[in-house]
Structure 1
C-alpha cells in the first residue's frame, strides 16, 4: 500500500542537492512531520474508540468463542477502503492541488485508524504502547539518517519497493498455507523493508523540495503525499514489530 503514492515528484541525486542548512527546507520537512504526527494521534484515538467502545467495537469486529478476532463486513469495508481510495486516486487525481491532496491524506488516516482498533482486541495495551514507542524512536532515527546522509538511496529504495511487493504476495499465499515460519519471515522482512523505506522516503522528500523551486502549490501537495508515505511506513513498521514482539491477550 505504501508504494502507491511514491511518484508525485521526480527527485535529483542526493549528491547534487544543496546540502546547506535551508530555512525553507526545514519548514517544508516540519510541515510533513507535523502532519504525520497529527495523523498518528488521530489514528490512535480512533483505534482506541473502535477497539474499546462496545457499540462501535461490535459493529467493526467479531470475537469467536475460541478467542479468534476478525473483522465484520463493516470492518472489512473500512480496512480495505484506504487501498481502494489510493488506487482510485492514482487514476483520478492527475493534477492534485493542496486541498485534494490533504483530503486524501486525512481520509486514509481516518480509515486506517478506525481499522486498527482490532489490535486492541488481539494485543495487550502495554504491548501496544511499548511497541509504539519503539517504532517512534526507530522512525526518528531512520528519518534523520535519510535526511542527513549524502549517499544516494535511490537504488536501495527501488530494491526495497520490489521487496515490498514480494512480502505482499507472500502474505497472500500464507493466508492459505497458515505457515508460522513463513509468517515469521514475512514479519522480519517487513520490519527491514519499512525501516529502509522510512530513510529512502525522507531523502526523496528532501530532494523533491529542491526540484520544486519554491512553488507553494507543489509543496502543499508534496507535504500531504510525503506525510502519507511516511505515515504508511510508520504504521506498517509498527504492525510488523507488534506481530514479532507483541504480547497477545
Structure 2
C-alpha cells in the first residue's frame, strides 16, 4: 500500500479526546478537500462519459438493439487513465518519503482527476437515477462511519491492519475476475469491497484524529497530513460507491 495510508504520522497510543477547536479545523479541512474532490470527479466523469469527442478518446461504445449506447471497452488511453492511479500511489511510496505540502496536494488532485476521468464508465453503464441514489446512500454511510471513527474510544489499529490486507486481496481477486468474468465471484468481491472500505473509513478517520495530536501544531506537517488524509477518505468513498453500484445500480 502507499504512504497515504500509513506513512504520514507515527500516532501515539492515546490522545486527549477533549473537544478541540484546532482538531475541528483540521478535520474540516480534510472533509472540505474530500467534498471538493468528489465534485471535481463528478464533473470529469460527466465530461468523459457524455461529451462524445472526449468519450471516444477514452471508451469504446456501441448502440445496442434497444437503441441505447453502452460501454463495450476501453481505448488505450482509457486503460492508461484507469490504471495510472494505482501505479502513481505505489510509486509515491518510494518517491515521496518527505513530501512538501505542495507535493502532497499535487498528488491528491492528480489522483482525483485521473479517477474522475476514468469514472465516465459510470455514466455509460448505469442510469442517472441509480447513480444519484447510490451516491446519496454512500454519502450517508460514509458520514456515519466517519463519525463513528471520530468518536469511538476503541483503538481501531488492529482492525485497520486487517482491512488493508483485505484491500490487497480485493485487488488480486478483481484482476483474476477480469479474465474469469464470473458473476458470483463479482458479487462476492463487491460485498467484501463495501465492508472493507466501510471499515477503512472509520479507521482512517480515527487515524487522522491521532495524527493531529501527534503533529503538535506543526502547520507544515498538518498541511501534508490534510492532503494524505483527504486522499484516504476520498478513495474509501469512491470504492464504496462503485461497489454499491455493482450490487444495486440500475444498468442502462
**TM bin (shorter chain):** over 0.9
- Cα deviation for residue 69 of structure 1 reads 2.4
**2:164 matches 1:161:** yes
Partner of 1:189: 192
Q: Distance in 2 between matches of 1:240 and 1:138?
A: 13
Map residues 135-214 of structure 1 onto 2, 5 A cutoff.
135-214=138-217
**2:16 matches 1:18:** yes
Number of aligned residue pairs: give it.
246
- Cα deviation for residue 172 of structure 1 reads 1.5
Q: Distance in 2 between matches of 1:164 and 1:4?
A: 15
Whether the 8 Å contact between 2:59 and 2:71 is mirrored in structure 1 is: no
Secondary structure class of the residue paired with 2:27: helix
Map residues 102-141 of structure 1 onto 2, 5 A cutoff.
102-141=105-144
Q: Distance in 2 between matches of 1:161 and 1:86?
A: 14
Structure 1 runs (4+) deviating above 3 angstroms are 64-68
Q: Distance in 1 between matches of 2:165 and 2:98?
A: 26
Superposed CA offset, 1:190-222 (max 9, x none)? 000000000000000000110000000000000
Whether the 8 Å contact between 1:69 and 1:122 is mirrored in structure 2 is: no
Q: Which moved more, 1:179-188 or 1:65-74?
A: 65-74
Partner of 1:75: 78
Partner of 1:245: 248
- Gaps of at least 5 residues in structure 2 are 65-69
Whether the 8 Å contact between 2:34 and 2:231 is mirrored in structure 1 is: yes
- Cα deviation for residue 43 of structure 1 reads 0.3
Q: Distance in 2 between matches of 1:56 and 1:202?
A: 36
Q: Which moved more, 1:16-25 or 1:87-96?
A: 87-96
Q: Distance in 1 between matches of 2:72 and 2:3?
A: 29
Whether the 8 Å contact between 1:69 and 1:118 is mirrored in structure 2 is: no
CA RMSD of aligned residues (A): 1.3
Partner of 2:89: 86
Q: Distance in 1 between matches of 2:245 and 2:39?
A: 18
Superposed CA offset, 1:225-244 (max 9, x none)? 00000000000000000000
Distance change in 2, residues 1:36/1:23 (3 Å): same
Superposed CA offset, 1:162-186 (max 9, x none)? 1111121111121222211111100
Q: Distance in 2 between matches of 1:130 and 1:65?
A: 26
TM-score when scaled to structure 2?
0.94
Whether the 8 Å contact between 1:124 and 1:248 is mirrored in structure 2 is: yes
TM-score when scaled to structure 1?
0.96
